[in-house]
Structure 1
């Protein structure tokens, strides 16, 4: 039942709510009147006391019946049992009153005793049926024994404090003697209630009022027993008001809404780790009982029979409690073992269980193989349909895979959408055959096809051999093969080979070296000029990053930039390139102020809000005007950009930064995005320029892009110009600028400055190359 359903359940009509409040006030007035009557020593005090308690008990019982009708079904038994308890209390009070009017001053008779025992049973059962009570039989029995132990421990203490002067002859009436045990039963119920409500969750106000009711009743019964034992008890005293007050508190509890956690079944179950006070509670009073037993010994050394019998019963209860605790510990160990080794969603063994089995298998002499399986595109299922649907699908797929593996191996879930199969011994099916069965089991069913779910998997296979030192090496090889299967198009399997292993190890080592490349100064920039096609003047230079590896030598960007983008290292590399390019461009600005610098920006960097701060810091730190910096971004990265990315580009343009669309024509080439992106130039991809002399369609494409750029007021740069024919073609088409080997290969900053000095634009003068030094 949801919280909303609970709230709807307890909604009452305004008239009924007002009637409940008026009833509560009326009963409070009755109790107040009774207290005044008894304190004023008015006539018929005994009858007023009895009628007051009887009236309030009946009202509280009726209020519990009403609460059972209003509140959720999960609390109905609790309220009905409390109603029965109050009805039995009212019946006992009625019998007490009748027998007292017939001449018995303290009528501790069998009917009253039976009614009292019945109310004790129903009241205790009600507490054990509350929403915070244990849900297992062992838990309920243990809680009941806690109350019994604490209650029994009170008997020796009470004997020393109250009954030590009472002789056995004074206790010749068994029913009257049993009536002196009322405080023990009150403390027993109160202990059970404290255990029930103290289970590590918010305390419901209704149980708090019930605890207050039991506390008031315990005080009243203790005073009653003390006075009876001393022979000073008189009917119709102010103490008699405490019993109706205890009934009033129960009636007040019926006015409170049900607990907020009633709809969460896990809150009502067994607590896996009880608090320390909960463990020590039944044992703390035992020490006091032992001390009281020693003090209660008679001069001849004998222990009074009631105390002796109580201690024997207490020891038996402790022994039973201890056996239940041991049983509960065994269940807890079994539960913790299940939590430790079983995946709770699919019921399959988890990573820890798989690892244990794998390590044990490697100690044997039989062959061992591991299949590592990763579901393809499972994240899209969660994103599209939600995690609940994803969990349902995952559970169904795990059942299919379990059936596919059957007895040929052990399948485990080792991650979110990752599974592993351990194959050992004399295998009836080869690992490849098992992989084929798993892939066949994952073919979408008719229902999955309807909703667009197409489960598949990539599987890596590795067999244990001399090249493996431990189980981690075997899992690493299976992981390598699994990624090779993904790279091969997914929904496939691959076996780990020495070539795959060598490639993966080399790749991992290269990534590790790349993490240190920026800090250790292994990266440097080369610059390729971008020239004016008409005059040959250098208008700009594109900064290209190179990696001088300590062992592998000079590495091209194609070797390490894809790894940098995959691992996120592209961000610090991009920042370094922007700062270094701005500092380099600042060295030629005072001699060739029209020459700008261009820097490539990764798509992931474009999506970061700190890009603007990086650019501003780099230009300001180098003393470079923002107009002298061009950021080159790929067509695909721009199209995939969100509104936030477009806003970021607009802010860069407002600062004066130029925006170039790199490799134009190789992406989606959607004309609509040209209206939204604040670009300043297009760079035609080299694949079109290379085919211009002999491919009319390439020529037409470059011509169309050039006209399109003119319509959008964008400058055009032809990339990859290597021959005179290509130069003449792009110049004839109308491209204003070009970049390629014909005009200069990527070179160090010193060589670029030499080119700039030789191709200074008309009207610009400067010093000799020897004066253009980098400071």
Structure 2
């Protein structure tokens, strides 16, 4: 849009605002003049009253049309129907004025009645088109019936109050007394307005103004009917001001205002529950209507015909309202059942439906098998393309798997990317063949290949047998087999065997025991010396954690540390190891002040912001100099580290803590990250050292890493040195330090102190493995 277009739009908007303010001023002035005129009882009061009402109704109609042009489609129909209501009011009042000028004092004619009735219908339609009104036909009909019930209940009450003493024979002009319907319509519209405003929501200003307008009109119509019934109504009194005042408020409601905050909200979204009084609203006046019917009976016991007809209509409306409520309850029950048993994304049965079918199948005599399927790497799809794409892919995969299963079983979605298939019947399908069909169905399509999506799954199979007590046992075995399929390389299936089951149970028991290991002081440290290859002196010692299991004996780190990393228990173990290693190193500083201690840090701990606090607290608590502690980290943990991790390591180096890259060469070795990581030494992995004497490529690799470390001013430790030949080789290459059985096995602190106390040649033999506890 050009600058000129913007300026024209601004000028047009400003002009519309000025015109709106001018129109409001004129309409307000008309109402004020009419009020003063009628209050002073000046001549031609009825005509002034009629002309004032026509003028204000016309202005309100124009204002509503302007509001319809300003608002979006969701509110346009609301304002157009209000504009039509004002047009009908104007036309009815104009016809009323014309007939009264031609001799009828109160022209209650059929055309006028029909025009005013049309205005009431369009006004009711506007309320049912508001943004908070029900969107379904059923809901709109229910809301309309609520208003009709309240309105019909007013007829017996109004009759009792106004026409009880009027004989039916004296009612020569039925249309005159049909005016009783106007207050009924007003109350009906007020009831609908209260119903559609919306519970627990701020009231939109136009709706509030409309409610005040309806209230004023209800007072005006009720006053008019009561005066007409008493034969005391005179045109041109202050009562006549109430109608143009109600029109004025509708015009004020049409002035520019912010749309309701809930405009355009998801109609399928969950709406607040209405208060109890709102549910009971249409039924509250019914009791009064019944009492009014009983009191309106004449001495002979007969009920006046209008009252009888109103009562019949009220009962019919109540019956219809209850029928709609019953129908709505049935629809709600069906919807709740769908929500309870159907997955809303894929349309498949959910976990609850699957377990119900599984439990029912286990009570029968037919064989039962369960296939548990978990998509491989689906989290990466969400991370790369977003959850919307992930949901689309999941929906497509669900359709393909449903077709693959066909009639041979029931497939359900029981988790985010986890599905289950129930196979049962007199001649059930072979589970392995069904698993192969499922894997084939998951082969990526052409479109999926283009975007780099390669869906696959790991499937676990379990058949019900004597070893299963409940359905949960069967699902457990399927889960065990599924994880075994993942461990075997994914995109495969695995049947649960006794060996798998026993292994999983032992693993679960080991994890449970590991949770108690730190608190019950079952862990202890052993130390393996790291020696200077030139002098044979111990320069450092690596702290290695051991688990003295009360039932299984001493367990190596390889047995329990992977479980600790999977379960998050590695964090408390790491904290304990750092603290105890610092305390141990503090005890040998008097004998070997330059000897340091090295501690392995898990990747999960490296990503935690409290790592610095943990390390500094351990060093300070032990009274150990920061330079005496080396943190060993694997390549993979460092490569996956974020900028925050690198910043954390830099802070540790500034404190004096040393950083070693452990198992160097086995991970994704990148020269670029060596520039960024504040490391102090590299530890060459034992797999290269073990092949030094037989493999020239291993020798070249160790030599290259040594030269690289020297270029980066990093120390080098050769791990896994076990023989004299390996010792001679790494020393010849130029490695500064070595670690391995050639220099000492992992031993308790007491034995390490003995090693630290003596100074021997490079060929010194290592100490024996010991079960001594940490002292």
TM tier, smaller? over 0.9
Deviations 1:714-750 (A, max 9, x none): 1111111111222222222222221111211111111
The answer to whether the 8 Å contact 2:367/2:428 transfers is no
Which residue number corresponds to residue 259 of structure 1? Answer: 260
The answer to whether the 8 Å contact 1:592/1:756 transfers is yes
Which residue number corresponds to residue 324 of structure 2? Answer: 324
Task: Say which SS state the counterpart of residue 743 (structure 2) adopts.
Answer: coil
The answer to whether the 8 Å contact 1:538/1:760 transfers is no
* Equivalent-residue separation in structure 2 for 1:102 and 1:446 (angstroms): 83
Which residue number corresponds to residue 147 of structure 1? Answer: 147
Which residue number corresponds to residue 4 of structure 2? Answer: none
Which residue number corresponds to residue 769 of structure 2? Answer: none
Q: How many residues in Structure 1 have an aligned counterpart in Structure 2? A: 755
Whether 1:711 aligns to 2:711 is yes
Deviation for aligned residue 1:273: 4.9
Deviations 1:305-358 (A, max 9, x none): 444443333223222211211111111111111111111111111111111111
* 1:595-606 pair list within 5 angstroms: 595-606=595-606
* 1:279-678 pair list within 5 angstroms: 279-298=279-298, 303-427=303-427, 429-678=429-678
Whether 1:55 aligns to 2:55 is yes
* Equivalent-residue separation in structure 2 for 1:428 and 1:703 (angstroms): 63
* Equivalent-residue separation in structure 2 for 1:66 and 1:390 (angstroms): 45
* 1:718-757 pair list within 5 angstroms: 718-757=718-757
The answer to whether the 8 Å contact 1:132/1:199 transfers is no
Deviation for aligned residue 1:202: 4.6
Deviation for aligned residue 1:41: 2.2
Deviations 1:269-292 (A, max 9, x none): 895954422321111222232344
After the TM superposition, which of the residue ranges 226-235 and 574-583 deviates more from structure 2? 226-235
* Equivalent-residue separation in structure 2 for 1:469 and 1:95 (angstroms): 86
* Equivalent-residue separation in structure 2 for 1:580 and 1:263 (angstroms): 62
Deviation for aligned residue 1:452: 1.3
* Equivalent-residue separation in structure 2 for 1:478 and 1:189 (angstroms): 61
* Equivalent-residue separation in structure 1 for 2:163 and 2:749 (angstroms): 105
Which residue number corresponds to residue 770 of structure 2? Answer: none
Task: Say which SS state the counterpart of residue 64 (structure 1) adopts.
Answer: helix
Whether 1:701 aligns to 2:701 is yes
* Equivalent-residue separation in structure 2 for 1:346 and 1:436 (angstroms): 22
Which residue number corresponds to residue 198 of structure 1? Answer: 198
After the TM superposition, which of the residue ranges 601-610 and 64-73 deviates more from structure 2? 64-73
Deviation for aligned residue 1:682: 1.2
Deviations 1:442-495 (A, max 9, x none): 111111111111111111111111111111111111111111111222111111
* Equivalent-residue separation in structure 2 for 1:77 and 1:270 (angstroms): 24
Deviation for aligned residue 1:186: 0.2
Task: Say which SS state the counterpart of residue 480 (structure 1) adopts.
Answer: helix
The answer to whether the 8 Å contact 1:408/1:427 transfers is no
Whether 1:210 aligns to 2:210 is yes
Deviations 1:663-712 (A, max 9, x none): 11112221221111111111111112222223332222222222222222
Task: Say which SS state the counterpart of residue 185 (structure 2) adopts.
Answer: helix
Deviation for aligned residue 1:264: 2.7
* Equivalent-residue separation in structure 2 for 1:590 and 1:22 (angstroms): 96
The answer to whether the 8 Å contact 2:600/2:632 transfers is yes
Deviation for aligned residue 1:260: 3.8
Which residue number corresponds to residue 5 of structure 1? Answer: none
* Equivalent-residue separation in structure 2 for 1:509 and 1:10 (angstroms): 75
Task: Say which SS state the counterpart of residue 718 (structure 2) adopts.
Answer: strand
Which residue number corresponds to residue 43 of structure 1? Answer: 43
Task: Say which SS state the counterpart of residue 267 (structure 2) adopts.
Answer: helix
TM-score scaled by length of structure 2 = 0.93
Task: Say which SS state the counterpart of residue 370 (structure 2) adopts.
Answer: strand
* Equivalent-residue separation in structure 2 for 1:700 and 1:346 (angstroms): 56
* Equivalent-residue separation in structure 1 for 2:113 and 2:609 (angstroms): 79
* Equivalent-residue separation in structure 2 for 1:298 and 1:270 (angstroms): 51
Alignment CA distance shift 1:11-1:632 (3 Å): farther
Task: Say which SS state the counterpart of residue 738 (structure 1) adopts.
Answer: strand
The answer to whether the 8 Å contact 1:272/1:332 transfers is no
The answer to whether the 8 Å contact 1:135/1:270 transfers is no
* Equivalent-residue separation in structure 2 for 1:13 and 1:30 (angstroms): 26
Which residue number corresponds to residue 109 of structure 1? Answer: 109
**Structure 1 residues without counterparts, runs of 5 or longer:** 1-8, 762-772
Alignment RMSD (CA, Å): 2.3
The answer to whether the 8 Å contact 2:369/2:462 transfers is yes
* Equivalent-residue separation in structure 2 for 1:476 and 1:669 (angstroms): 40
After the TM superposition, which of the residue ranges 77-86 and 515-524 deviates more from structure 2? 77-86
Deviations 1:386-426 (A, max 9, x none): 11111111111111111111111111111111111111103
* Equivalent-residue separation in structure 1 for 2:774 and 2:309 (angstroms): 102
The answer to whether the 8 Å contact 2:86/2:119 transfers is yes
* Equivalent-residue separation in structure 2 for 1:178 and 1:727 (angstroms): 116
* Equivalent-residue separation in structure 2 for 1:248 and 1:407 (angstroms): 68
After the TM superposition, which of the residue ranges 555-564 and 714-723 deviates more from structure 2? 714-723
After the TM superposition, which of the residue ranges 535-544 and 201-210 deviates more from structure 2? 201-210
